[in-house]
Structure 1
Amino acid sequence: MMNVDDGLPLTTSDKQNRTWRRLVKKRLPILEWAPQYDRLTAVADLVAGVTLGLTLVPQSIAYASLANLPVQYGLYSSFIGTMLYVILGTVKEVSIGPTSLMALFTLQICRELPIEFVVLLTFLSGCIVFVMGLLRLGFLVDLISPSVTSGFTSATAIIIVAGQVKGLIGLSFVAESVADNVYFVVSKWRDIRLADCALGAVCCTVLLLLRKLKDVQVSPKQTKLKKALWLVSISRNAIVVLAASVFAFYTHNPQKPMFKLSGLVEPGLPPLSLPPFSASLHNSTLRLQDMVLHLGSGVLMLPIVMVLANIAIAKAFSVGEKLDITQEMMTLGLCNIAGSFVHAMPTCGAFTRSAVSHSSGVRTPAAGLYSGIITLLALVFLTQYFYFIPKACLSSVLICAVIFMIDIETVLRLWRRDRMELSVLALTFVTSIALNVELAVLAGILASLALLVRRLMRPALHAAAVKTGSGEVCVVRVTQGAVYLSAELVGRRLLWAAARSAPRALLVDCTRLTLLDYTAQQVFERVIKKIKNDNQKILFYNVPVELMSQMENIEGVIKQSFRATSVQEALAVIEEKAVEANESTALMATEPGSRDNV
């Protein structure tokens, strides 16, 4: 390697410096795009960042309410991640902050526990995700099948809607499940507040109408009108929360308030401090290990779901570009670790906010800086007005945000195509509703793995008789894999196919054969020997390139047939072998010393 500047070979020191520079640029993506940052890009990011901020602030308030935390904790969680992602993030659309999924997990894991447990959960989750990134364990997310994801996502939406109905109709109670929420709503129906019901109905209606506003067809010449409709549509949460708060402010009667309000909010920026490693609970002081025991399995399940959600969003918005999953995991971990120092709840990327950034024309991750600044300004100057945000309005924001997460389309598709996968989805959904979400994810993963093992143990074999000019042959297509779990079954079915009609040859189509282990090789050797003893032939054709070397290790196979791609080509190999055999017999018959020459 030559030095570009002076034509001299690079020294060991130069090579190390270059290696370090590449590593730093890889782990600090801002160094890649910042040197090319221009005025046009800055304006585009500013517009996207402000738009994102108008979405982030009301969502953060609503998600804090969903997690049963004071309103300000949602805002504490929304600025540190967005700002840190500017430096470390690789996908410009991703916005790290509170989400409905993280809020629900936080509620279920930390129910009736002090806020210190929430902050510790954020810190531990961040540490686990960061270590997963260092160890390149992103492949573990692949264990969660789309059916499991669909099941617990739909269940999450149902749980959130059921939990927010009480705020929508002005009731107050503590419920731990969907059944409890339904029971308390029915039993307390006489206490329903009509004003809250009316406000909730109006807010839901307006939110759903504004959501469709961006899809209104306008003349191509009216670009300004189209942009205005789009801006109003994606800012609908901020608009509705602001309008409801103003109405509540001017109609507020301290002696007899018309609506249930959010209440006092602690003003100012969050205090900077270490995550709590001890806490008081029931008049006793708990140490770190005791706190972790109280958090339970959620300490492990939450980081996995966090990574799953974030990587799914990153993949969705980085189509055609290489995604550095390791960097994304390390960034997500650091965002949560840093968030725990400002009393944040667990955070990850949100699809809705990422979609807002994308549609706003975001150019770089710098847009997160502007949305973070808007959140800080809200904490400093607007907290006194958060008191007047009606709870019915926040419930409306949450309900209208999550109802579209209910995945009916996947259920219908699986009903038509794969009922077994549908059973995995149903198990995950029912477990989420009846027990809790983290247990449902674990149950779904185990069910998916069990279904995979079952399919490996019972691979489908399709046999068909094919008539040719030289006789009948039997074509068998082996699907999935032949491994120790299924090798004996595959061998028995091949022998059954060969014996059923006593064909001239058994042709094994390996197009869909994906796995082949040593046990299967031994079984195939026994099958080949048995079929040859019955004066039949067996050929393996359409063999995938990656399985060629393993197939060649099987004693008795006809290697020339591996590359055949059709029945005709496989039969041609048989004819060729027959001709070779006849020629060999003729040569033996005319050799000196043979019986005919004696």
Structure 2
Amino acid sequence: MHHCMEMGMDVHKVVPPPYRSTFQKLKTKFKETFFPDDPLHQFKGQTSKKKWILGAQYVFPILEWGPNYSFKLFKSDIVSGLTIASLAIPQGISYAKLANLPAIVGLYSSFVPPLLYAILGSSRDLAVGPVSIASLIMGSMLMQEVSPSKEPVLFLQLAFTSTFFAGIFQASLGFLRLGFIIDFLSKATLIGFMAGAAVIVSLQQLKSLLGIKDFTKKMALIPVLTSVFQERREWSWQTILMGCCFLALLLLSRHISMKKPKLFWVSAGAPLVSVILSTLIVFAFKANSHGISVIGELPKGLNPPSWNMLQFKGSHLVLAIKTGITTGVIALTEGIAVGRTFAAIKDYRVDGNKEMIAIGLMNIVGSSTSCYITTGSFSRSAVNHNAGAKTAVSNIVMSVAVMVTLLFLMPLFQYTPNVILGAIIVTAVAGLIDIPAAYHIWKVDKYDFIVLVCAFLGVIFISVQEGLAIAVGISVFKILLQVTRPRTVVLGNIPGTDIFRDLQHYKESTVSVPGFLIISIEAAINFANTTYLNERILRWIEEEDEGEKHSSVRYVIIDMTAVSTIDTTGITLFGDLRKAITKRGLELVLVNPLAEVMEKLQKADESNELMRPDTLYLTVGEAVASLSMSMKNQASNIYNEEMQKQQQQQEEKPNVIDSSQSE
């Protein structure tokens, strides 16, 4: 390094990181893992009274915006609340049927949870209630062991118990700051999963759309289609005609709203209008006695308590826990994704952990008030947003509208045909098939597209939960591949600069530097990839040896700029490399190890061979410049020594000649 200083070059010294105690390191790691958003920063420098106020507002977001609420905001919220209520009532009944639960449970689930979310939630646009995907998963998982037709009471008990465990799981993730767990459901996984679920849900509705009574309970393509064509004698032309007409009406209204967002009320009101029209038709023409099945009588009154129906023992407890966790993860993923989507549009922030707590608590309370799994619905939230919702009061307005329905309007649904519920479900889930997003993933990342296709095929050919499990498994396998086979590249120099880039990427603009093998490791080094890195680097060195009869490489430089962390197994990599490289007559040089990595390497380097100042540099450019100068000086010294030897030999030759002549 001193040679470069003599030539006037500015070589920066690699400074070891400042000392930090083990407690300080653990504190930092804990904070960055569980509190990356630093929720306590707003409490710094505040008075005790202000801290209590901020704490209450953090737990109950309604206290933050409630004091500034005005009649102007209420006018917007009441319009949006009534609009989403017109959508929530028919969807609630339909999704309860999708979960194989009594229709009234869907309305119960649209009453209590929105009230709780308005107090605890941090999103202004999220409309809470039952959703198709969670309903489908709950119904299909519970149906594997319990028949909803033969054991309806037990099935309902398990649905409430599963909702309770879903709420416990969701709230625990929020309290323990473990929200990163739901990030294992990648975008590709969700797109494939939802598309497959939409297909299966739509095919299952053929039971209602065709008027079939004896229909398979399996959620897979082949059993569903088999059941459809085996029961052709049960097909009802009256049901098919009504179903096709209202399905066309609903799809047309959805298309109009998608083309012209200002006409959002068309698709929002279409389900309720369809329910009213179809009910009037059945009542007027007594169609229920001509092959069209109806919902039947629904009980009036608000949610009855159901805490006594929760099952915490028995042979089905494991099923309830498994169903609760699965539906809980899906519900959280959808709810938080929807909340963040509309928050980004309106430029405000949604706290993921607070959302988990809010959704979890409303499901815990919901399980004790005859509600099943609920979360933020994309379709209702989109309508809520387009209708001009300003705060979560729109959820309260929706809940009040559902309450009025429960108290006074239940007899009106007695003649509502099941076929209209099937048509509403098909229309709702049609939006889950996102072909443009799938095509975009195909163009960008073929591996992610494979994950998407596996999720889709797994759902439609095996089952909903197995398809999801397969997709998550493939995604985790991809992560393991990235961990165990990290990206490593050989760097070359862009002539005329001190910039070094990937030789393969910049083939036309980079050249290898004579005397140097420069390698960049672009991942954390740990026990899972140490062996691979060792073998890969040594293979590069062997390739250099094979390419030259006498290898010109003198130095192996490893750029560690992208190595964020290293474990004890990873540390041994550099000791083993140095030994192997030294045997070949080469020297190992490290560039820019980060603070944590450098600290661990220093502690492990007892012989002080690995972290010598002359083998440690801040940039690749400085390392090459300094070591090139050393090589030139060494070559110059060797040349001078050879010249001196030759001069000495020439000086000795005349003496030999003179002595022979004298003789």
Same fold (TM over 0.5): yes
* Distance in 2 separating the partners of 1:50 and 1:297: 36
8 Å contact kept, 2:118–2:393: yes
Tell me the equivalent position of 1:588.
none
Correspondence 1:572 to 2:614 = no
Correspondence 1:122 to 2:166 = no
Deviation at 1:492, TM superposition (A): 2.1
Task: State the secondary structure of the residue aligned to 1:349.
Answer: strand
Tell me the equivalent position of 2:252.
209
Tell me the equivalent position of 2:279.
245
Deviation at 1:164, TM superposition (A): 0.6
* Distance in 1 separating the partners of 2:512 and 2:454: 53
Tell me the equivalent position of 2:618.
563
Residue type at the aligned position of 1:169: L
Tell me the equivalent position of 2:307.
274
Correspondence 1:95 to 2:149 = no
* Distance in 2 separating the partners of 1:161 and 1:562: 62
* Distance in 2 separating the partners of 1:57 and 1:395: 14
Deviation at 1:160, TM superposition (A): 0.7
Query: Residue deviations 1:382-440, cap 9 Å, x none?
Result: 21121222222111111111122124445444444444444444444344334443344
Residue type at the aligned position of 2:323: G
| Deviating more after overlay: 351-360 vs 405-414 | 405-414
Correspondence 1:459 to 2:486 = yes
Tell me the equivalent position of 2:418.
391
| Deviating more after overlay: 388-397 vs 319-328 | 319-328
Tell me the equivalent position of 1:177.
219
* Distance in 2 separating the partners of 1:148 and 1:473: 44
Task: State the secondary structure of the residue aligned to 2:558.
Answer: strand
Task: State the secondary structure of the residue aligned to 2:309.
Answer: coil
Tell me the equivalent position of 2:543.
500
Residue type at the aligned position of 2:293: K
Residue type at the aligned position of 2:541: A
Percent of residue pairs bearing the same amino acid type: 24
1:488–1:230: structure 2 CA closer, same or farther, 3 Å change rule?
Answer: closer
Deviation at 1:331, TM superposition (A): 1.2
* Distance in 2 separating the partners of 1:245 and 1:543: 72
Tell me the equivalent position of 1:301.
326
Deviation at 1:547, TM superposition (A): 4.6
Deviation at 1:186, TM superposition (A): 0.8
1:487–1:341: structure 2 CA closer, same or farther, 3 Å change rule?
Answer: closer
8 Å contact kept, 1:431–1:437: yes
8 Å contact kept, 2:131–2:375: yes
8 Å contact kept, 1:143–1:445: yes
Deviation at 1:98, TM superposition (A): 0.5
8 Å contact kept, 2:340–2:349: no
1:562–1:182: structure 2 CA closer, same or farther, 3 Å change rule?
Answer: farther
* Distance in 2 separating the partners of 1:306 and 1:72: 21
8 Å contact kept, 1:292–1:299: no
Deviation at 1:154, TM superposition (A): 2.2
Task: State the secondary structure of the residue aligned to 2:431.
Answer: helix
| Deviating more after overlay: 324-333 vs 122-131 | 122-131
Residue type at the aligned position of 1:361: G
1:246–1:544: structure 2 CA closer, same or farther, 3 Å change rule?
Answer: farther
Tell me the equivalent position of 2:360.
333
* Distance in 2 separating the partners of 1:168 and 1:322: 42
8 Å contact kept, 1:277–1:288: no
Q: 2:99 aligns with which of 67, 70, 93?
A: 67
Task: State the secondary structure of the residue aligned to 1:476.
Answer: strand
* Distance in 1 separating the partners of 2:536 and 2:462: 43
Residue type at the aligned position of 2:626: V
Residue type at the aligned position of 1:263: G
Deviation at 1:15, TM superposition (A): 6.1
* Distance in 2 separating the partners of 1:201 and 1:448: 39
Residue type at the aligned position of 2:367: S
| Deviating more after overlay: 318-327 vs 389-398 | 318-327
8 Å contact kept, 1:29–1:90: yes
8 Å contact kept, 2:93–2:103: yes
Tell me the equivalent position of 1:521.
571
| Deviating more after overlay: 509-518 vs 36-45 | 509-518
* Distance in 1 separating the partners of 2:477 and 2:266: 48
Query: Residue deviations 1:244-274, cap 9 Å, x none?
Result: 22233322256x3363222222222232353
Task: State the secondary structure of the residue aligned to 2:524.
Answer: strand
- Counterparts in 2 of 1:302-451, with a 5 A limit? 302-319=327-344, 321-451=348-478
Tell me the equivalent position of 1:186.
229
Deviation at 1:30, TM superposition (A): 0.8
1:216–1:164: structure 2 CA closer, same or farther, 3 Å change rule?
Answer: closer
8 Å contact kept, 1:45–1:364: yes
* Distance in 1 separating the partners of 2:512 and 2:259: 66
Residue type at the aligned position of 2:475: S
Correspondence 1:481 to 2:524 = yes
8 Å contact kept, 1:94–1:313: yes
8 Å contact kept, 1:528–1:557: no
8 Å contact kept, 1:120–1:275: no
Coordinate RMSD, CA, aligned: 3.2
8 Å contact kept, 2:161–2:320: no
8 Å contact kept, 1:51–1:235: yes
Q: Which runs of 5 or more residues in structure 1 are unaligned?
A: 1-13, 218-225, 279-286, 586-598
Tell me the equivalent position of 1:53.
85
Residue type at the aligned position of 2:300: P
* Distance in 2 separating the partners of 1:160 and 1:297: 21
| Deviating more after overlay: 122-131 vs 393-402 | 122-131
Query: Residue deviations 1:322-349, cap 9 Å, x none?
Result: 4322321221122112222321121111
Q: Which runs of 5 or more residues in structure 2 are unaligned?
A: 1-45, 494-509, 545-550, 639-663
Tell me the equivalent position of 1:82.
114
Task: State the secondary structure of the residue aligned to 2:413.
Answer: helix
Residue type at the aligned position of 1:499: E
Residue type at the aligned position of 2:567: D
Query: Residue deviations 1:486-521, cap 9 Å, x none?
Result: 212212221222232334343434454444323222
Task: State the secondary structure of the residue aligned to 1:499.
Answer: helix
Deviation at 1:59, TM superposition (A): 0.8
8 Å contact kept, 2:491–2:512: no
* Distance in 1 separating the partners of 2:593 and 2:157: 59
* Distance in 2 separating the partners of 1:235 and 1:74: 18
Deviation at 1:485, TM superposition (A): 1.6
Deviation at 1:96, TM superposition (A): 1.9
Deviation at 1:90, TM superposition (A): 0.6
Deviation at 1:25, TM superposition (A): 1.6
Deviation at 1:43, TM superposition (A): 1.0
8 Å contact kept, 1:541–1:570: yes
Deviation at 1:380, TM superposition (A): 2.0
Residue type at the aligned position of 2:299: E
Q: 2:191 aligns with which of 146, 150, 157?
A: 150
Correspondence 1:31 to 2:31 = no
Residue type at the aligned position of 2:342: F
* Distance in 2 separating the partners of 1:448 and 1:213: 37
| Deviating more after overlay: 575-584 vs 495-504 | 575-584
* Distance in 2 separating the partners of 1:147 and 1:232: 31
Residue type at the aligned position of 2:78: L
Task: State the secondary structure of the residue aligned to 2:556.
Answer: strand
Deviation at 1:561, TM superposition (A): 6.1
- Counterparts in 2 of 1:103-142, with a 5 A limit? 103-111=135-143, 112=147, 113=151, 114=153, 115-142=156-183
Task: State the secondary structure of the residue aligned to 2:215.
Answer: coil
8 Å contact kept, 1:144–1:445: yes
Deviation at 1:65, TM superposition (A): 1.5
* Distance in 1 separating the partners of 2:416 and 2:329: 34
Deviation at 1:201, TM superposition (A): 1.6
Deviation at 1:364, TM superposition (A): 0.9
Residue type at the aligned position of 2:158: F
* Distance in 2 separating the partners of 1:418 and 1:483: 26
Query: Residue deviations 1:30-72, cap 9 Å, x none?
Result: 1100111112111111111111111111111110121122221
Q: TM-score, normalised by structure 1?
A: 0.83
Residue type at the aligned position of 1:203: F
| Deviating more after overlay: 290-299 vs 190-199 | 290-299
* Distance in 2 separating the partners of 1:107 and 1:128: 19
| Deviating more after overlay: 267-276 vs 409-418 | 409-418
